[in-house]
Every structure is written in C-alpha cells, then in structure tokens.
Amino acid sequence: MKISILVHDLSSNSLVRTYPIAKVLERNYEIEIIGPVFGKEIFKPYQNEFSYKPIYCRCEGSKLNKIQRRISGINKISDFVKGDIIYAFKPMYTSLRVGLSAKWRNRIPLILDIEDWDAAPFFEKNIKEKMECLKTFHNPHNVFYNMLMETQVNKADDITVVSNFLKSRFGGIKLPHGADTYVFDPNKFDKNKNKIRWNIDKFKIIMFCGTMRQHKGLDELIEAIKIINCKDIKLMIVGGGDLILSVKKLIETNRGAVIRIPYQPHSKMPELLSMADIIVLPQRKTLFSMAQVPGKVFEAMAMAKPIIATNVSDLPEILENCGWIVEPENPRQLAEAIQYVLDNPDEAFEISQKARQKCIEKYSWASMEKILKTLFGKYE
C-alpha cells in the first residue's frame, strides 16, 4: 500500500511532526511526501531525509496576482497524489482541503493528523487584529482559513492527534511523535569530548531546542538564569526563528552568556543534546500551547537528560516520575528547579535514566509503529 502524505508547507517546521511519523510508516509502506513550498527551500533540518514532491508557490506582483498564482499552485498539488490512501497533516487549506479534493476524485480514504489548534490565534486576537486578518486573504495560512478548515475535520475517515486537549476537541487516536531511541542513545556519545570540541567544557549548559516564539517561554528562562546569576552557566539555544527582544538584550548586556546554534540537520541533534546538562521546556499557558506537545521532549528523554518543563498540555503526564514540572511564567520557580537539578547530580542522573526508559516503553518509534500499523491496517 502506498501512502500520500500531504504537508501544508514543506518550508515550515511542521515537518518536525511529519518526520518521525513518515519514517515509521516507511517501515511497512511505500510513502510519498507532497506539499507546497512557500519559503525559499524545504525546511533545512529535514531537507535530505526524503525524496519530496515539492510544489513551489513563490508569488510576486499585485495582491490579485498573488492570490491567482497561489490558488493555481495549490490546486496542482492534488494532481501529484498517487497513493492508495492520503495522510494529511494539519487541518489547513493546503493540506486538508487538497487532500479532500484528491479523496473525492480518486475515491480513496483520508486520514487527518492534528498537532496544533491552528484556529486558536484567532480567539486570542482583539477585534482590530481580527479585522486586520481580512487584508491577508492571499495568505493560505490566514487564521480565517484555519477556522473554515476546522469545519471540514469530520470529513476525514480517521484522525490522529498529539495531545489530550486535541483528542477532547476532535476525537481520534492519540499518537505522540516520539524519538528513535536507537539513534538518540546517550551511550553512543561522549558528553565531555563533545563539550571540549565546542569549547564549553568549563560550563553547565542549559539548553533550549526549537523555534523561538513567544509562547515558548524564553523570556522566563532568561529571567531564571539572571536570578541564578552564575558565570559557570551558559544558555544554548538550538533552533531558528527571529531573536525575541529578551534574548537580544541578554546577548547585548552579557555577551557570551548565550550560545545560539541555528537550525542544524536533524542528524546532528543527538550530538547537540549530549552536551546539555539540563533541557528546559518553559512553555507559556496559551490556547495554542495547551494543544501542543513539543517534540523535543521525547528526544531529550531518549538522550537521558534531566528535563524541566512547565505545567502545560500533556507535559506533566509525559514527565511524571521522570522530570521536573514548574508553573508556567514563573521564572523564580524555574530558577529554583534549575539550581536544584544542578545541586543534586545523583538524583538528576537517576531521574534522567527513568526518562529514557519511559521513552523506550511509551514514546519510541516502536511504540508509534504499533499505533500506526493498527490504524493503517484497516485500509490494507
């Protein structure tokens, strides 16, 4: 059986979730990954992981020309669908809408994956901001489109979701996007040698991985590090996105306190994680983050890292008995947790080993494979 995977934008970080699921599906099925590219290139960390079928949708000229060219490019996507079943990622115009078109034309089933509540930003906007959205209808990622596509979710034959919040809202099967515990194995990496290679062996490394966005809580993490006020600690930010103001200020006022590593090939992540003394996931509590589960938590667990996360979404459940949970937007509590982990290395080691074991048992690719084989087996 061949599965056509539809991604709403191959140049975006939505591939973070698509990647492990597609890799696991490849174990039992033939796959093809199709989608538009609205940026300059396919999302850099995963560029070389698959033979993609990209449809480039770069548009110039007037707003009308942009709309016409985008619609023309998007409509072409369904022509590339050659599978026996469709797996559309996100209920968005360029994935679900395209998938439904191919489903009805080719008379094949469609499974929908939901990893975020993409309509949530609409409810967080004031009236003026909502009206501003009307000016950007040429953008297929417009939140109005996301709201409209949410009404089409029930047309999917099956649904997979990432969190308890999304399961309560849309139903479906809960499918964590776990880690390859064979590749993400701390025994394959020498932490001290890697830190020497990066010239950070004299420091404790607090690591944040992911795209820098406001709901990720970097402000609170930076404030927590200021509260600790220790010259032997460095914050390593691994990922992309524009530097938020607080990070810029920290770099300007305390040069050397922050090490920023831009997007790297995903194959480099185990090495980078091996150097961390603590992984921090300081999510803020927003409508969007309540539905989301950061995929980096599973890679950190697989690498047996001490993990501190906030009480948001499924993170307390995932890290129960194998991590530390603090309240969101509370930098002092976060600082205390970081200091506690650094001051208690034996306990931190024991907890981190439990995290890896839990990842192997519940959040590994082998665990994902069981769920996906049961789901797709119905259509063989």
pTM of whole model > 0.85? yes
- For domain 2-177+365-377, give the CATH superfamily: Glycogen Phosphorylase B; (3.40.50.2000)
- 282, amino acid identity: P
CATH, range 186-362: 3.40.50.2000
Provide φ and ψ at 114, rounded to 5°: -125, 115
What integer is the mean pLDDT of 362-372? Answer: 97
Antiparallel, parallel or unpaired: β 2-7 and 85-89? parallel
Over 60: is that where the pLDDT of 6 sits?
yes
What integer is the mean pLDDT of 274-286? Answer: 96
Alpha carbon dihedral 213, 216, 219, 223, in 10-degree steps, equals -160
- 120, amino acid identity: A
What integer is the mean pLDDT of 182-211? Answer: 94
Q: What is the DSSP string of 101-130?
A: HHHHHHT--EEEEE-S-TTHHHHTS-HHHH
What integer is the mean pLDDT of 95-106? Answer: 93
Question: Can you tell me the distance from the alpha carbon of 25 to that of 364, in angstroms, rounded to the nearest whole number?
Answer: 14
Phi/psi region, residue 98 (left: phi>0; alpha: psi -120 to 50; beta: rest), is alpha
Confidence (pLDDT) at 196: 95
Residue 339 CB contacts under 8 Å (≥ 6 apart), including other chains? 228
Over 80: is that where the pLDDT of 253 sits?
no
Q: Which pLDDT band holds residue 135 (cuts at 50, 70, 90)? A: low
pLDDT single digits (tens) 201-221: 999 999 999 887 888 888 899
pLDDT single digits (tens) 302-325: 999 999 999 999 999 999 999 999
Domain locations in the chain?
2-177+365-377, 186-362
Q: Which pLDDT band holds residue 54 (cuts at 50, 70, 90)? A: confident
With residue 224 as reference, give the H or E element that holds it. helix 218-228
Q: Which pLDDT band holds residue 68 (cuts at 50, 70, 90)? A: very low
Provide φ and ψ at 189, rounded to 5°: -135, 140
- Average pLDDT of the chain? 88
Hey, do 2-177+365-377 and 186-362 end up sharing a CATH topology, with the first three levels equal?
yes
Q: Which pLDDT band holds residue 294 (cuts at 50, 70, 90)? A: very high
Residue 250 CB contacts under 8 Å (≥ 6 apart), including other chains? 222, 225, 226, 235, 257, 258
